Structure 1
């Protein structure tokens, strides 16, 4: 396929991109892979008012983790640009088959509120496994000509897509999440907020009925409706015990739903590098619904670590 560039002068409208999810998808072909498409949102910005709304959704009256929430804010408010990419007729697979299951969010410089910015997203890598396909979507936020935030969102499609292959370098969160002791004392417990479902959908542009309607969620095999994982992650960040310097990187592993109204239990453990690992459990589940790692410094990309290790072995 020829390169494709699509520019939005204002916020991508859900009524514009979501109907395209009903169009037939071209289908996956290994020799073609993901299309060379870049979607750009001009005049994107995170307002002070939006940050106040996110603090409210996080469930903390006096929010002491603004630095951590700022890592998450572009992922929430810019997610509709990713939705526009995944629903485009050039995209090889239907969006309803996509599962968002790993995220790496990095703060690369000072992120200014109310500042005109440019947000862009494109596929940067993909991997075919025996039981599915992983695609890494790279999003970048630019302010005043510099990239101040970026993310790698890894989406997963179940199924068989041919022989195993790997394209591009994997810079996202590792495939294996940290392991926390489920018997350790919790740092916080709260009930997952059951209200304002439409309001959070408007923030993300994601109106999946599983985040809105329990009856639909039951039909899809779930125990009930559940919030967007970004909303659950914000609640986790708001309840973590404050530690040290502001974080620069957040890795998230989405393991399963945390249903509306469920009693959430959060556990936290220090990392050797000065950061924090955390995990959220809900009743009836042995494994956590969400696992995360907060880093005080940017982690070195795995490809750089591998090259460094190779140079050391050859020295």
Structure 2
């Protein structure tokens, strides 16, 4: 298990992944890196955390990590794995399609943690090949937070029935609780707080290079913003699907009822961008 002394810098990893992307030919039966990256002795940068809390709508100044923040901590390690030559999916065009999070107890922002990340598997998807990346946050050897993210590389498939899990079904429409007007700079502000400065989130010009008419919001920003509004119990399991990009600037509707939530376009026929579920543990 390779042990790191500090989080990798995201910029060089994104550049490496971009350079290698044209040479990769994704397929679900390809080999993938088996390494588990480990980062011990992790302390939280409280200034960066406060910036993240502000842009996502979480309370600031509390000695507690937002439920989505360990994903930000683990993302550089995941990028190191997914930008490596032995990762078979091209980094450019890779789409974050879902994340499942389990928090076993509250996480003090002043704590010291151990972070572990690995690629768990590749699987066929009706639109290509999907990779699962597992992130674990540990305190004194105990796993206190864990997640599984899926990333989709789109490519032609043989038409064979997919081995992926069926999409989660959200029964019935949810009542709209609020409308949010999203500024054009949301992607830049979230990128500054999280370190994820993917060009598709920054400016209309850089987004158009990848086929988007305008910059789009980070999927993990939309999830965090919804969970900040919804609230989460101390021990919780969260399932979130990213279903359609959110163009910036724009207006979206936040809808929720009990354990379910959605982010969708305004109006009765608004397109669902994000859907999720929050379940208390224990």
TM-score of the two chains, using structure 2 as the length reference: 0.85
Displacement after TM superposition at 1:26 (Å): 5.0
* Counterpart in the other structure of 1:56: 54
Gaps of 5+ in 1: 271-275, 299-315
Question: Which one of 289, 299, 303 corresponds to residue 273 of structure 2?
Answer: 289
Q: Deviations over 1:88-115 (max 9, x none)?
A: 1111121113110110011123423222
Question: Which one of 106, 110, 117 corresponds to residue 102 of structure 2?
Answer: 106
Alpha carbons of 1:180 and 1:213: their partners in 2 closer, same or farther (altered >3 Å)?
farther
Displacement after TM superposition at 1:178 (Å): 1.8
Paired residues of 1:180 and 1:267 also in contact (CA < 8 A): no
Paired residues of 2:99 and 2:241 also in contact (CA < 8 A): yes
Equivalent residue of 1:8, what SS? coil
Displacement after TM superposition at 1:155 (Å): 0.9
Alpha-carbon RMSD across the aligned residues, in angstroms, is: 3.0
Equivalent residue of 2:67, what SS? helix
State how far apart, in whole Å, the 2-side matches of 1:219 and 1:235 are: 27
Alpha carbons of 1:288 and 1:179: their partners in 2 closer, same or farther (altered >3 Å)?
farther
| The structure with more radius of gyration | 1
State how far apart, in whole Å, the 2-side matches of 1:204 and 1:176 are: 28
Paired residues of 1:83 and 1:206 also in contact (CA < 8 A): no
* Counterpart in the other structure of 2:93: 97
* Counterpart in the other structure of 2:223: 233
Paired residues of 2:26 and 2:90 also in contact (CA < 8 A): no
State how far apart, in whole Å, the 2-side matches of 1:78 and 1:203 are: 14
Question: Which one of 23, 35, 43 corresponds to residue 20 of structure 2?
Answer: 23
* Counterpart in the other structure of 1:178: 170
Paired residues of 2:182 and 2:250 also in contact (CA < 8 A): yes
Displacement after TM superposition at 1:29 (Å): 5.6
Displacement after TM superposition at 1:176 (Å): 2.0
State how far apart, in whole Å, the 2-side matches of 1:262 and 1:210 are: 15
Paired residues of 1:78 and 1:204 also in contact (CA < 8 A): no
Please identify runs of 4+ aligned residues in structure 1 that moved more than 4 A: 29-32, 161-167
